[in-house]
Amino acid sequence: MTSLSQFKRGVFVLALSTLAACNSSTDNRTPTATEAKQFLADSQAHLEELQLPAVQAAWVYSNFITDDSAAISALLGEKLSSAAVKYAVDAAQFNGVDVDADTRRQLELLKQSLTLPAPADAAKSAELAKIGTELDGLYGKGKYCKTDGTCLNLNDMTTILANSRDPQELLDIWTGWREISPPMKPLYTRQVEIANEGSKELGFDDLSDLWRAKYDMPGDEFASELDRLWGQVKPFYDALHCHVRAELGNYYGNDIVPQDKAIPAHLLGNMWAQSWGNIYDIVKPKQEMQVVDITKALEEKGYDEIQMVKTGEAFFSSLGFDPLPETFWERSLITKPEDREVVCHASAWDIDDKDDIRIKMCTQRTGEDFQTVHHELGHNYYQRAYKNQPLLYRGSAHDGFHEAVGDTIGLSITPKYLKQIGLIENIPDESNDIGMLMQLALEKIAFLPFGLMIDQWRWKVFSGEVEPKDYNKAWWELREKYQGVRAPVERSEDAFDPGAKYHIPGNTPYTRYFLAHILQFQLHEALCKIAGDQGPINRCTIYGNKDAGKALNALLEMGMSKPWPDALEAIAGTRQMDGGSIANYFAPLKTWLDEQNQGRQCGW
């Protein structure tokens, strides 16, 4: 579930050889503040001109997958990304120029749009682009072929890990997938070397310094901020970990799951042990619980896919937002066509940065997709809210906010909301909440340390603190430190297990997901207070409350125009991200977990 704002900013990160060495300053004189303003105006105008056809082509490719649509999308995307690389590199010439705060912010955002900056050396720039393509190919083509000749792709293996309860089969699949990544290690090592050179040419110490600079505070302060947030949520994670390990031990035996060590990674229902929802059947509360079945309710009420989206639109209309434009209904892909292949991954698109917003989903009449519809529309309403900002400000306050806003709306899909819209007749009483909270915790809380440690590892690699010979060792040290999860078998120095997670070879920053998981609960709690809800926040919905809608819109309209603390303050009344809302939301489950964990050995 993504927004197209991420796609647009994503095409800006490609380091292409043709233009990375360009610089608009051809003499040694110092540029002026007036020239900086003109540079920003010209570059944004040109990028806007290139952006529309590139996004239209990407939409066509996602909805009509052919060799021709792929080639056209790649060509126009390359033109846009090439120009963005040139302007990001050119922006560095104004590093020492005395300009106003708004101009400085736009210049910095333009430079920071690069995730892998190429150095001026054309040969190294070309090498960097080639390495990126090779890493993508190694991951995308990855398969595990067993000794009997059966070959499995990642989707096949994901299904097995989710459903099998045979520890030997799980171990075989877990180790099999990780055979794809050792060839990545020399490529990744060289990629880091070249990108660090490019980062230094932009004025940063290294690539980790560039990545942390995106958060409106010095890099060291941001690292400390992450530690503070983790400290707030760690007690709850520890309680969940203790319960899950104990139940896994009961199920598989303590010889397979020792009660004084980290949990073997292959038993948690997910290829990377990043979310644990697939083992709910093993760790769920034993007592019978009344849980709302949204899928069944949709069927009983005769909802079709269009009505599901109309219901999502009505949620935002109830908050005071304008209805979706007619073009949304004319141009969105809401159900999977029978006559062609499409990219079914749910996403929200803003085609022209004005009013041509769309969703692309192969919607099914399920409770999961009912939630997803509300989430994706959260992206769309965010996109439309900041449409009047300059191009460089059309995005979320920081990269965690876009996903957080979509998930915040999802947290309002409570039984109370479902009753208000007539989808269910009765709201289960609070004694039934533990099951729902457990399911959510296995997805959201279990993810937090994984979301944090990915970039903790990368920043150490980028800075040189972790050398190539220690890549895998450092990876598992961090996983055990933060997650209490361990490799189920001995891993060699050259295994390069980080490469088995897409975001490493794909060079997608990951801290955004950790922050989104923190922020969604903070935003939800703040909006519930504004709405005047007096009950537990896990039961709150902001549906129908115009005051909550007004506060939400104030955040959305800012886009990236102000530092993120300003945006957060506009809605939550504080300039600090706060993990305390997670403790408030899951308080009943924490009490239950503490009761279950009495007499158990916790920690690792």
Q: Which residue would you say has higher pLDDT here, 190 or 114?
A: 190
Residue 544 has pLDDT above 50, yes or no: yes
Helix%, strand%, coil% for the chain, nearest 5: 60, 5, 35
- With a CB cutoff of 8 Å and minimum separation 6, the contacts of 521 are 411, 579, 581, 582, 584, 585
pLDDT of residue 24: 40
Q: Are 144 and 179 in contact (CB under 8 A)?
A: yes
Domain ranges of the chain: 2-110, 294-427+512-596
Kindly tell me if the per-residue pLDDT of 1 is higher than 80: no
Greatest Cα pair distance, the chain, in angstroms, is 76
Look at residue 230 and tell me whether its pLDDT is greater than 80. Answer: yes
Over residues 275-292, the mean pLDDT reads 89
Check whether 505 has a pLDDT greater than 70: yes
Tell me the mean pLDDT in the region 131-154.
89
Judge whether 376 counts as a catalytic residue: yes
Residues 361-411 have pLDDT tens digits of: 999 899 889 999 999 999 999 999 999 999 999 999 999 999 899 899 999
Residues contacting residue 215 through CB under 8 Å, at least 6 positions apart: 222, 398, 564
pLDDT digit string (tens) for 50-77? Answer: 999 999 998 998 888 888 988 898 788 8
What pLDDT does 494 receive?
Answer: 87
CA gyration radius, the chain: 24
Residue 522 has pLDDT above 90, yes or no: yes
Per-residue pLDDT at 344: 80
- pLDDT at position 334, please? 94
pLDDT at 557 over 90: yes
Mean predicted lDDT score pLDDT of the chain:
91
- Position 13 scores a pLDDT of 39
The percent of residues above 90 in pLDDT, for the chain, comes to 74
Residue 14 has pLDDT above 80, yes or no: no
Alpha-carbon distance of 485 to 244, in angstroms, equals 12
Query: Which of 6-10, 325-329, 391-395, 446-450 bottoms out in mean pLDDT, i.e. has the lowest?
Result: 6-10
Please give the Cα distance from 105 to 160 (Å, whole number): 47
**Annotated catalytic residue: which of 127, 197, 201, 376?**
376
Tell me the mean pLDDT in the region 456-484: 97
Confidence grade of residue 201 (pLDDT, cut at 50, 70, 90):
confident
- Per the CB < 8 A criterion, the answer to whether 273 and 265 are in contact is yes
Tell me: the pLDDT tens digits for 318-356?
999 999 999 999 999 999 888 887 878 788 999 999 999
Instruction: Report CA torsion sign: 351, 355, 356, 358.
Output: positive
Cβ contacts of 203 within 8 Å, gap of 6 or more: 92, 95, 111
CB-based contacts of 527, cutoff 8 Å, min separation 6? 408, 542, 548, 551, 552, 571
So what's the pLDDT on residue 28? 67
User: Does the pLDDT of residue 496 top 70, yes or no?
Assistant: yes
Q: Is the pLDDT of residue 580 over 70?
A: yes
Q: If you average pLDDT over residues 302-325, what whole number do you get?
A: 97
Amino acid at 259: Q
CA distance 154 to 138: 12
For residue range 115-142, list pLDDT tens digits in order. 888 888 888 888 988 898 898 888 888 8
146 close to 176: Cβ distance less than 8 angstroms:
yes
| Contact of 108 with 42, CB cutoff 8 Å | no
Give the closest residue to 557 by CA, choosing from 319, 385, 316.
385
Instruction: Round to whole Å and give the CA distance between 604 and 602.
Output: 7
16 falls in which pLDDT band (50, 70, 90)?
very low
Task: Tell me which of 46, 225, 503, 557 is the catalytic residue.
Answer: 503
CB 362 within 8 A of CB 343: no
When pLDDT is averaged across residues 150-166 and rounded to a whole number, the result is 92
Q: Backbone phi, then psi, for 252, in 5-degree steps?
A: -100, -20
